[in-house]
């Protein structure tokens, strides 16, 4: 345990990913950060601005393999034998909308073997665990009623996208049992659809594709009907929720972390057109295997239990997305390709 003059050390699994890289950046305000990622579906470009920071260490490693931190230089550098590890954030999930089928086994491994290896680290260092779960634990959207944490999801465990949905559910089960059996301090954040800078480009992610298409004068594609709708959460709001969840006393159950406003994707596309000054049309395509309507989150518990609510307005978030895509589209043209 760190003393009052020593920054705490935290581990971010999947720290070079979309949300993970923003989390690492925010945590560096008052912590030493060990970012662990195998870069299977993320990119080192997301963390290149952090590599020179004295309190940041990147370790390329697959968490489905055991990890002994005491054998690595960071152990002495961060004086881990004395100060240990305060928090472990688990965001390790190899993910690609376009190449989802090829990722199914690694996704299963990350939420089973990876969770087990992470729990071994947590028990070794008596660290808090903050797990990035998903709204998919609630299953498909069946009504307009926002889901609460007490709601039980209905999912088909043999469906084509079950590798993701069911592995998130299993991970929650495993974490809960280890908390009950071994006293691990576990916090579960059920993240709803999140967007922002560093969201993977050229991967059929609709919002980034809207921006890219509009810039190129090409039609924007919505994978579904004109009634496709969703909540949208800006990435820095997701990060602030994870950090707040880590700071509250133990005993907080799963927490919905999502946008409290619903948007039709056709309206989001229209806003992108307006912000860019373009007039490209919208095309409706067949739904993709991994893209579907999510239920709306009831975030009452998040407001009460961790003092959190989303702050970013959609137009401001979209403008930041546009700025990011403009600056990085050519450099990342083959990312995940």
The active-site residue out of 164, 195, 234, 324 is: 164
Domains (range + CATH), the chain: 8-199+231-260+293-312 (3.40.50.720)
Output the 3-class SS for 169-231.
Answer: HHHHHHHHHHHHHHCCCEEEEEECCEECCCCCCCCCCHHHHHHHHHHHCCCEEEECCCCCEEE
**Predicted pLDDT of residue 2:** 38
Instruction: Write out residues in the chain with pLDDT < 70, as ranges.
Output: 1-5, 289-291, 331-337
Give the pLDDT confidence of 151-198 residue by residue, as tens digits.
887 777 888 788 999 999 999 999 999 999 999 999 999 999 999 999
Give the pLDDT confidence of 231-265 residue by residue, as tens digits.
999 999 999 999 999 999 999 989 999 999 999 99
H or E element, residue 334 = none
What does each C-alpha distance from 302 to 174, 182, 184, 312, 323 come to in angstroms? 22, 26, 21, 16, 30
Q: Is 57 strand, coil or helix? A: strand
Q: Is 278 strand, coil or helix? A: coil
**Predicted pLDDT of residue 12:** 98
**Predicted pLDDT of residue 289:** 65
CA distance 128 to 126: 7
Q: Is 97 strand, coil or helix? A: coil
Q: Are 207 and 195 in contact (CB under 8 A)?
A: yes
**Predicted pLDDT of residue 206:** 87
Is 138 in the active site?
no
């Amino acid at each position: 345990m760190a003393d009052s003059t020593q920054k705490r050390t935290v581990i971010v699994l999947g720290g070079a990913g979309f949300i993970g890289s923003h989390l690492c950046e925010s945590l560096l305000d008052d912590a030493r950060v060990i970012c662990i990622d195998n870069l299977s579906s993320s990119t080192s470009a997301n963390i290149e601005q952090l590599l020179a920071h004295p309190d940041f260490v990147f370790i390329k490693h697959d968490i489905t393999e055991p990890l002994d931190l005491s054998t690595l230089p960071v152990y002495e550098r961060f004086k881990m034998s004395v100060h240990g590890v305060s928090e472990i954030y688990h965001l390790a999930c190899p993910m690609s909308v376009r190449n989802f089928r090829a990722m199914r086994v690694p996704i299963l491994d990350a939420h089973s073997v990876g969770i087990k290896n992470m729990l071994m680290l947590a028990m070794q260092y008596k660290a808090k665990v903050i797990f990035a779960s998903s709204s998919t634990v609630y299953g498909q959207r069946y009504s307009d009623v926002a889901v609460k944490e007490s709601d039980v999801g209905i999912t088909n465990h043999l469906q084509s996208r079950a590798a993701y949905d069911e592995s998130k559910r299993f991970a929650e089960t495993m974490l809960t049992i280890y908390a009950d059996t071994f006293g691990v301090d576990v916090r579960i954040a059920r993240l709803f659809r999140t967007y922002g800078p560093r969201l993977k480009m050229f991967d059929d992610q609709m919002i980034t594709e809207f921006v890219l298409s509009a810039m190129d004068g090409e039609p924007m594609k919505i994978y579904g009907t004109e009634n496709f709708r969703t909540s949208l959460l800006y990435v820095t709001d997701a990060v602030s929720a994870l950090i707040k969840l880590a700071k509250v006393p133990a005993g907080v159950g799963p927490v919905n972390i999502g946008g409290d406003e619903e948007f039709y994707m056709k309206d989001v596309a229209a806003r992108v057109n307006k912000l860019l000054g373009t007039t490209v049309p919208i095309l409706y395509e067949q739904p993709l295997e991994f893209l579907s309507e999510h239920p709306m989150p009831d975030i009452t518990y998040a407001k009460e239990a961790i003092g959190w609510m989303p702050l970013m307005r959609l137009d401001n978030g979209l403008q930041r997305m546009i700025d990011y895509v403009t600056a990085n589209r050519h450099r990342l043209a083959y990312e995940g390709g």
